[in-house]
Each structure stands twice: as C-alpha cells, then as structure tokens.
Structure 1
Amino acid sequence: MAPNRAGTPAVLLAITSVAALAVVLQFDGPPAVVAGLLLTLVLPGYAMTRGLFPGRSLSPIERGTLAVTLSLAALALGGIGMFAGGARLSRLSWAELGVGVTVVSALVWYLRQRTRPDSNWSTADTVEQGAVPLRATTLSTRKAALRLAPLALAVLFVTVAGVVSWHSASRADAVAFTELSIVPAGPVEEGAAQRDVVIGVICHEQHTTQYTVKIHDNGSFRASFTPRVRNEATWAVTTAVPATGTITAELYREGDTTPYRSVHLS
C-alpha cells in the first residue's frame, strides 16, 4: 500500500491555520505567544526545508536549525519587501507573511513528492553469505554539495537580506524633509509686553528651497519671513512676539497652500 504523501503537508497546513486564527482573533496569553512563535520561527522554515530538500535525510538538530534560520531569513526579506512597497508592518501583516511562505512552501513540498519515485519502498541489497559489504570511504562531490546546500542557502538568504537592508537604509537617508523649530531666546522680564524667540529652519530637501515662515498668536499678532535655504543649511532669525499666549510658527514651501510644518510655543 502506497503511503499518503499529502498527509504531512496537510497536517502542516492545519497547524498553520490554527496559529493564524489565534493571531487574527488576537488571543492573549500563552496561545498568542505560541502562535506567534510558530508563524515566525518554525512553520515557514520547516515547510521551506521540506520543499527545498524533499529527499534529504536530516537529523532533528539539522532540521530544527534550518527551520529557524530559513524562517527568520524569509520573514526578514518579506518584511523589507513589504516596507519598501509601502505596506503597514503590523501583527496581521506579519501573520499573513508567515502563512503565505508556509502555504507556498508546503505546496512545493507536495508537488515535489508527487514527482519523486516512492522512496519509502526499497529492497535491501543481497550479499553472498560470508561476504563483507563494501563501505564507501570517500564522500562524493554530489553528496558533499547536497550536505552543504542548506548552509549555503541560509547564507544566501542572510546576505540578500543584508544587501536589501543596506540599500533600503541608503534610500532612507535620501528622504527629503525640513526641520522647523521655535525656542525662547532668553528669560522674559516680569511684566514685559514682549519676549524674543528664535525661529530655525534646517533644509534637507536635497536642493535649495524657497520657504515662507508665518508667525501668529491667538490674537492680532502676525509676522512673516521668506528665507531661501540651501540643502543641509540652517536659517534662523530672532524676533519679538507677545509675552503671553501661544505662538504658532508655520512653514510653507514654495507652491504650498497648507503648512508643511507647524510648531507651537506657549
């Protein structure tokens, strides 16, 4: 009787479904912890190990190490891809990623089982009575490559994750933005009608930018400045504002109709 090849992938998918359900329903306590650990450290890597090396005989330690390594590598790459694509990294999105990797790998595992000859049925080699079977004393190149393949794959995953992370960090450094600040210029004398504040603008827009800085309070006070600031340069001005009330500074870039930055000083 032939073995049921779909049995083990089906069990893996059933466990994955239960773990995903625990995350989606936001269980608390031990169930949530167990489900999260399974979806991040065990199930994706285990399914990938089975799908990539269906004919390999691995020890429990080797299979466990591969499961954890491949799970972390796959989720790291997937997380970077989701972040680069603008997806929100949340509890649900991580669960979806873990489930997706597990399901695809389990499907590959099942399909590769169908294309392989039945390896569970074998005939022992017969040896003439009194003869001693020869034992291979050298490791063939093919066997050595198969044994090193899991390690090489894990190193490849980690290397690609590192390269993608570095590239993403380099792109993040090039993000355009502007800093706006308002701080007191010094102590205010008791009973004074005005106080001095320092308005500061730091340009990180990757080019020289024309700004408009508008300052106002809750009453009739109004002031405006139009600095032109080079990239990575700082512009600052000290100006007198009412001694009481909340002062608001709003920054507009050229062409803006709504404030790009806004800060307050009480």
Structure 2
Amino acid sequence: MSRPMNWLAARLLAVVTVLAAVAVLAAPQPLAVAGALLLGFALPGLALTEVLFRRQTMTAVERTVLAPALSLGVLVISGLVGNAAGMPLDRAWWAVSAAAVTLAALIVWTAVVRPVRLRRRPAAGTAEAETVQIPVVREAPSPQEAQRRADQQAELARRRLAEKQLALAQQRVRQAQAREQRRRVVREFLPLLLVLAVLGGAGWVSLRSAHESYHVTVTTLSAAPPGAPNGDGNRTLRLTADGLLAADGPYTLVVTGADGARVDRRTVPAGDGSWTGSLVVPADQRLTVTLYRSGDTTAYRTLFVAAS
C-alpha cells in the first residue's frame, strides 16, 4: 500500500507548484513545457487525491492513475469556469488555475486532513496509569465460600467479556456496512454526476458559441452581370460590398487585369456597412477584383470577372 502524504511532501509539492507556474509564465520554452506538463498531468491530482480520498487506503498504482485523471478534470472544469467568466483561455489562465487548485487543496490538507491524522495517531511514550491498591482487612471466609465466590466472579467476568466482544463485533459490522454503503453510492453516482457536469458544460459552451457566431458580421464582395461593351471596348461593372466594419476600414478596392497590371484602385469607406459602386473596365480582359482591409497587404475578399 502507498503511504499518505506527510508534512515534508506537502511543502515540497507546494514549492514545485509555484516553480512550475512561474516557469510556464516567465521561463524559456523548455522549462515552460516542463512546468505545463507538471501542472496539467500531476500536481493538482496529487494534492486532490490526499483531500478527496483521505479515508481510503490506496495502492501506488491507484495513486498513479488518479493523479493525471484528477489533473485533467481540473483543466476541464477550469476551462468551463473561465469560458463562463469571459476570461481569455491562454496559458496564463491554465497555469494560474491549475496552481491555485493545487495550493488550495494543500491548504485544506494542512488545515483539515493532517490534524485529524495526528489526533488518531497514538501518542508515543504513554504508559498506563499506576494502579494503587489499598489493603482492606476483612474476616477470612471459609475455603468453600471463597471458592464459590471466586467461581461466581470468574463466571460474571466471562459473561461481561463475552457481551463486550459481541457488542464490539456488532458495532464493527454496522460501521463496515455503513462505509460500504456510502462507497457504493459514491461509486455508482459520482461518475454519472461527473459525466452530466462535463456534458452540460460542453453543451452550454457549444450553445453559447453558436449564439455568438450567429451574430458575426460576414463581409461579402459581389458583382452584378456586366453590361455590353461600348464603342471603346469597355463595359460598366457594378460592385457591391456588404458587412463592412468601421474597425477594419477604410477598405481599398483594386482591379487588376489578366497580365497583373492594375486597372483601377479606389478607397471604399465602411459607412453604414454597405457600399455600391460602378467601374468602367476593359471588356476583353479577365479581371480580378480584390478588397483589402485597412493596413492589410493580403486580399480580404477576391472576385473574378470573366472577359466578354
């Protein structure tokens, strides 16, 4: 069986937790990766095992399995909490949340679990109180009477001892049955509750993401069918841009020909989110119409217009 955590191990775990969090937040990448692995797969689970399973005797294999499982559970729950609170789910959030859970579990262990274990441990060097016998002078009974009294006292002592042993055995049986019943309830319902919590949190996150994505503004660039060429070989191209955002404006519209030469370039204001304009372009060329956001060098929207 694996021994429970002692005071020295608790202090060492707290120091390693703080160092791992600092490494994730400020250390070079190799140390940050090592600290992230410790916070993600070991440290929270080691601390929570001593608090959640303090009354159970576990093997080393059970502790080895519980540590990463509980640590991953901490990451899932902290992610749900951070998303609900609107926090950015970056490495700072993961590091701080994992370290905070670990240190909180160690504080609970120090304040609650360790004092209980110390009270249950028998004190060293204790000795039974010395029994002082006070002599009493009585008239000596006859040998037959003395033997009869001795037999009665022995029989009474045997009965009392048997009654005490029976009562203790019954009490142990009742306590064992109660513990087994509590453990059975926990084993049967705790996984179900955890699954429901995870599914409920994931469903809520999906619903919120779908609701937020529904209101996302999408920028589109379209063109009406161009008219017939005029006598100069040109035609009018009517363009429409919708979903323009003031934060991304002003936009730039560039028209290039098949050889890459620029045919037209103009500034498109964001305005009320929609823009419509007409361009006179060569009719015998395949044109590329690109829309750029303010400050961008990569096309945000691209439209191809075939030659007539």
Q: Same fold by TM-score, threshold 0.5 exceeded?
A: yes
Q: Does 1:22 align with 2:23?
A: yes
In the other structure, the counterpart of 1:106 is 106
The offset of 1:91, in angstroms, is 1.3
What's the TM-score, normalizing by structure 1?
0.63
**Take 1:62 and 1:141, find their aligned partners in 2: how far apart are those partners?**
23
| Residue of 103, 117, 142 corresponding to 2:179 | 142
In the other structure, the counterpart of 1:168 is 205
Residues 1:79 and 1:242: Cα distance change in structure 2 (over 3 Å): farther
Q: Matched residues, percent identical?
A: 23
Displaced runs of 4 or more, over 6 A: 136-139, 186-190, 224-227, 244-247
Counterpart amino acid of 1:195? Answer: L
What's the TM-score, normalizing by structure 2?
0.56
The offset of 1:242, in angstroms, is 4.6
Q: CA RMSD in A?
A: 4.3
Uncovered stretches (5+) of structure 1, i.e. residues with no partner: 124-133, 202-213, 228-236, 251-262
The offset of 1:106, in angstroms, is 0.9
Counterpart amino acid of 2:196? Answer: T
Verify the 8 A CA contact 1:196 1:239 in the aligned structure 2.
yes
Structure with more relative contact order (C-alpha pairs < 8 Å, separation 6 or more): 1
Verify the 8 A CA contact 1:74 1:157 in the aligned structure 2.
no
Verify the 8 A CA contact 1:49 1:66 in the aligned structure 2.
yes
Flag the structure with larger Rg: 2
In the other structure, the counterpart of 1:195 is 237
Uncovered stretches (5+) of structure 2, i.e. residues with no partner: 125-168, 244-249, 254-264, 282-286, 294-299, 304-308
The offset of 1:113, in angstroms, is 2.4
Verify the 8 A CA contact 1:73 1:157 in the aligned structure 2.
no
Residues 1:145 and 1:68: Cα distance change in structure 2 (over 3 Å): farther
Residues 1:219 and 1:116: Cα distance change in structure 2 (over 3 Å): closer
Deviations, residues 214-243 of structure 1 (Å, cap 9, x unaligned):
998555999x9999xxxxxxxxx9974354
Counterpart amino acid of 2:279? Answer: V
The count of aligned residue pairs is 218
**Take 1:187 and 1:154, find their aligned partners in 2: how far apart are those partners?**
64
In the other structure, the counterpart of 2:50 is 50
Structure 2 SS opposite 1:57: coil
Q: Does 1:179 align with 2:218?
A: yes
The offset of 1:194, in angstroms, is 3.4
Counterpart amino acid of 1:163? Answer: G
Residues 1:121 and 1:215: Cα distance change in structure 2 (over 3 Å): closer
Verify the 8 A CA contact 2:226 2:235 in the aligned structure 1.
no
- Normalized per residue, the structure richer in helix is 2
